[in-house]
Structure 1
Amino acid sequence: MTVESDHNAPAEETLEKRPARIRQLLLRLRDQRPLLTVSFRGRSDQFGSMLLGVDIERGELSFDELTPTDGDRLVRLQQSFQVTGQLDGAEVRFPVQVRRREEQDGFITYIAPIPDSLRYLQRRRAFRVEVPARPECPVVMSNSDGDWFEGVLVDVSISGIGFRVNKQLADGLERGNRCDCHIDFPDATVETRVEIRFNEPVRDKPFNRLGARFLRLEASDRRQIERFVFQLQRRQLKNEL
């Protein structure tokens, strides 16, 4: 999901230290599944990740493997990084001190304690760019067994997509599956390769919400996605005026 803010609007930053409020914000960050930007001290390059879990009882967070994957080397070297994410049009920032690194079935997860504080930057005007319900943008996945799964695009960024699939079909797209992906935008088509990163049922809905990251993205496809996102931004801004 791509989120943008009006950078000319006044901003109010809060250093949140209340444990209950911090837990609430982190749970929302987990549920909304935005792509998180990860940065390391002394380096200008950035990486992507997602908040996979919030364990209130243990006081722990779990983060997905960093992309590009060479970010894992930096985690092992520094054991800490800074996370920035978007939550309902606000920017959330907090430090992560990696407690342990877990690897199972080829998946890498970083476990860290819930932070004592986080910074919450709320702009008075903010907007979220999402893929509109009409016209739908079809998504078709094909796995290594040759099975096809049809879905609908929900959100998109340069790093990956969110989409929904009928519950009866969603079981065939498990986390870690690598698929050929076909996306029909209104004015273009993108064909690429993705890896399924999460697959969860939506309460009281007949579909599951899934997320996938791009494994490779040709320059031409990247331009198509950037153009599509830009068009959505302009449309929403126009509607707000």
Structure 2
Amino acid sequence: MSDLFSEGKASQPPQHLTSPIEINSHLRAIMQARDPLEIRFADRQQVFQSYIVAVDRDNNRIAFDELIPNDGERHLLSGETFSVVTHRDGVRIAWSHSQLALADTLDGAPCYWLSLPQDISYHQRRNAFRADTLPEQDLEVSISGSKLSEQISGRLLDISATGCKVHIKQANSPLQPGQLYESFSICLPSGTICLSAELRHLKTEEATQSIQAGFQFHQLSGAAQRTIERFVYQLQREARRSDDALF
């Protein structure tokens, strides 16, 4: 079972895409899936979040939604260099901008236009097997830390050697991408594991007024790692059994 973890740490080198057709295709897929963007301005520690709301291939431009927190918008309008990272089906997609953003409105909501990137990094990583939890399992996740006034609870949706996805019913959660939460506990069938985790992205489910939060594990002890490894292996085995039953 240790191979499950060692294999997950291997990584393929990133590809640098320069074809306008490829870049346009990936950006449109990100927009249509409402994948959150992590935005970091040069020489600033804070991480901001936004979404792509338009890809205008005819005019070689892209529109971002308002930034969260919104004080990042003045950095956009002053032309500060920033990098963008998002994740699409296990692929890390990144690019950068060094230009003044143009404030505008789109369908009555504020937006910010920028030129289409001429180069994006496409990084297909061989993560450890990411296992979906079973429908009948109700595995609670508790999140707390110095940046939270009260504990937040959620349900584990999937888990791997490096992180997990959590469903949280609070649509207006105070969680912030890029923030490290020192107390992060997961109730697995074999017991509760406690560690710290960084919030990498948030995705709002408007239909259910809830959110899905993706976390990356930090300070994972050997015991916690083995517990996760056994659980992931168990889920992987169950998934294979279900696939075999279909044929």
What is the TM-score of this pair, normalised by structure 1?
0.54
Partner in structure 2 of residue 178 of structure 1: 181
Change in CA separation of 1:166 and 1:192 when aligned onto 2, cut-off 3 Å: same
Partner in structure 2 of residue 167 of structure 1: 170
For residue 235 of structure 1, the aligned residue among 223, 227, 238 is 238
Partner in structure 2 of residue 143 of structure 1: 145
Q: Give the superposition deviation at 1:117.
A: 10
What's the RMSD between the two structures over aligned residues?
Answer: 4.3
The C-alpha deviation readout for 1:135-173, integer Å capped at 9, x for no partner, is 1111011222562111101121222221011226x5232
The C-alpha deviation readout for 1:161-219, integer Å capped at 9, x for no partner, is 21011226x52323325240110111232100112233332121132111222221111
Mapped contact 1:22–1:117 kept (Cα < 8 A): no
Identity %: 23
Change in CA separation of 1:52 and 1:190 when aligned onto 2, cut-off 3 Å: farther
Partner in structure 2 of residue 217 of structure 1: 220
Partner in structure 2 of residue 10 of structure 1: none
Q: Give the superposition deviation at 1:129.
A: 3.1
Mapped contact 1:167–1:201 kept (Cα < 8 A): no
Partner in structure 2 of residue 152 of structure 1: 155
User: Secondary structure of 1:229's partner?
Assistant: helix
Mapped contact 1:139–1:163 kept (Cα < 8 A): yes
Listed as ranges, the gaps of 5+ residues in structure 2 are: 1-6, 8-18, 38-48, 65-84, 99-115
Partner in structure 1 of residue 27 of structure 2: 23
Taking the TM superposition and a 5 Å limit, the aligned residue runs for 1:1-241 are: 17=21, 21-27=25-31, 31=35, 54=52, 56-57=55-56, 58-59=61-62, 87=89, 113=117, 115=119, 129-144=131-146, 147-167=150-170, 170-175=172-177, 176-241=179-244
Within 2, Cα distance between the matches of 1:26 and 1:152?
25
Within 1, Cα distance between the matches of 2:199 and 2:120?
32
The C-alpha deviation readout for 1:49-99, integer Å capped at 9, x for no partner, is xx97557354599xxxxxxxxxxxxxxxxxxxxx9x773xxx8688x6655
What is the TM-score of this pair, normalised by structure 2?
0.53
Mapped contact 2:130–2:232 kept (Cα < 8 A): no
User: Secondary structure of 2:35's partner?
Assistant: helix
Whichever structure has more strand as a proportion of its residues is 1
AA aligned opposite 1:238: R
Change in CA separation of 1:188 and 1:32 when aligned onto 2, cut-off 3 Å: farther
Bigger mean CA offset, 157-166 vs 17-26: 17-26
Change in CA separation of 1:190 and 1:20 when aligned onto 2, cut-off 3 Å: same
Q: Which has the larger radius of gyration?
A: 2
Mapped contact 1:141–1:149 kept (Cα < 8 A): yes
Within 2, Cα distance between the matches of 1:119 and 1:173?
26
Change in CA separation of 1:59 and 1:240 when aligned onto 2, cut-off 3 Å: same
